[in-house]
Structure 1
Amino acid sequence: MPVRIIHVGLGGWGGNWARTAIPEVSEVEVVGIVDPVAATLDAVRTDLGLPASAAFASLTEALAGVEADAVVITAPAVTHVPLALEALDAGKHVLVEKPFANTAEEAATAVRRAEELGLVLQVSQNYRWYPAPRVVTELLEADAVGEVATIDVDFRQWDNDLPFEEHPHYRFPHAMINDMAIHHFDLMRMITGREPVRVYARASSPSFSKYQDEAIASMLIELEGGLVVSYRGSWLSRAPRTAWAGEWSIQGSDGELWFTSRSGEPNAVEGDRVTIRRTQDDEAEPVELPTMEHTDRQGGLQAFARSVTGGAEPETSGRDNLRSLAVMEAAQRSAESGVPEDVVVPE
Structure 2
Amino acid sequence: MTVRIVHVGLGGWGGNWASTVIPTVPEVEVVAIVDPHTPTLKSVASEIGVSAELSFGSLSDALAAVEAEAVVITSPVATHVPLALEALEAGKHVLVEKPLANTVEEAQRAASRAEELGLILQVSQNYRNYPAPHAVRRLLKDGALGELAAINIDFRKWDNDAPKKTHRHYAFPHPMINDMAIHHFDLLRMITGHEAVNVFAKVGDPSFSKYDEEASAVITIEMEDGLVISYRGSWLSRGPETAWAGDWSIQGEKGELFFTSRGGGEKEDASGDVVTLRRPGKRKAKRLALEDTALHDRAAGLEIFARAVTGGPAPESTARENLGSLALMEAAARSASSGRVEPVQRP
Q: TM-score range by the shorter chain?
A: over 0.9
- Is 1:223 aligned with 2:208? no
Which residue in 1 is equivalent to 2:331? 330
Measure, in 1, the Cα distance between the counterparts of 2:272 and 2:26: 26
What amino acid is the match of 1:214? E
CA deviation profile, 1:277-332 (whole Å, cap 9, x unmatched): 00254201000012212100011111111111112221110001111000000101
CA deviation profile, 1:228-267 (whole Å, cap 9, x unmatched): 1100000100001000000000001110000001112251
CA deviation profile, 1:24-58 (whole Å, cap 9, x unmatched): 11111100000112222122222222222211011
SS in 2 for 1:225: coil
What amino acid is the match of 2:206? P
Q: Report the number of matched residues.
A: 346
Which residue in 2 is equivalent to 1:121? 121
Which residue in 1 is equivalent to 2:346? 345
Query: What value does the CA root-mean-square deviation take over the aligned residues?
Result: 1.0
CA deviation profile, 1:138-184 (whole Å, cap 9, x unmatched): 11111111111110000000001111121131111010000000000
Which residue in 1 is equivalent to 2:140? 140
Measure, in 1, the Cα distance between the counterparts of 2:99 and 2:225: 27
Which residue in 2 is equivalent to 1:291? 292
Q: 1:62 deviation in Å?
A: 0.3
- Is 1:278 aligned with 2:286? no
Alignment of 1:306-317 (within 5 A): 306-317=307-318
- Is 1:205 aligned with 2:205? yes
Which residue in 1 is equivalent to 2:151? 151
Which residue in 1 is equivalent to 2:169? 169
Which residue in 1 is equivalent to 2:46? 46
Which residue in 1 is equivalent to 2:71? 71
Measure, in 2, the Cα distance between the counterparts of 1:266 and 1:136: 23
Structure 1 pair 316/266, CA: closer, same or farther in 2 (3 Å)? Answer: farther
SS in 1 for 2:171: coil
What amino acid is the match of 2:340? V
What amino acid is the match of 1:180? M
Identify which range, 274-283 or 3-12, moves more after superposition: 274-283
Q: 1:191 deviation in Å?
A: 0.4
Gaps of 5+ in 1: none
Which residue in 1 is equivalent to 2:20? 20
TM, length-normalised to structure 2: 0.98
- Is 1:31 aligned with 2:31? yes
Runs of 4+ in 1 over 3 A off after TM superposition: none
Structure 1 pair 186/266, CA: closer, same or farther in 2 (3 Å)? Answer: farther
Which residue in 1 is equivalent to 2:10? 10
Measure, in 2, the Cα distance between the counterparts of 1:40 and 1:201: 37
Identify which range, 40-49 or 159-168, moves more after superposition: 40-49
Measure, in 2, the Cα distance between the counterparts of 1:266 and 1:201: 33
What amino acid is the match of 1:107? A
Structure 1 pair 222/266, CA: closer, same or farther in 2 (3 Å)? Answer: farther
Measure, in 2, the Cα distance between the counterparts of 1:36 and 1:306: 29
Q: 1:13 deviation in Å?
A: 0.5
8 Å Cα contact 1:276/1:286 also seen in 2: yes
Alignment of 1:50-129 (within 5 A): 50-129=50-129
What amino acid is the match of 1:105? E
8 Å Cα contact 2:270/2:292 also seen in 1: no
Gaps of 5+ in 2: none
Identify which range, 54-63 or 37-46, moves more after superposition: 37-46
Which residue in 1 is equivalent to 2:249? 249
Measure, in 2, the Cα distance between the counterparts of 1:268 and 1:70: 26
TM, length-normalised to structure 1: 0.98
8 Å Cα contact 1:266/1:296 also seen in 2: no
Measure, in 1, the Cα distance between the counterparts of 2:223 and 2:295: 30
Measure, in 2, the Cα distance between the counterparts of 1:304 and 1:13: 19
What amino acid is the match of 2:279? R
Identify which range, 260-269 or 298-307, moves more after superposition: 260-269
What amino acid is the match of 1:106? E
SS in 1 for 2:80: helix
8 Å Cα contact 1:132/1:259 also seen in 2: yes
CA deviation profile, 1:88-141 (whole Å, cap 9, x unmatched): 111111000001111111111111111111100000000000111111111111
SS in 2 for 1:14: helix
Identity of aligned residues (%): 64
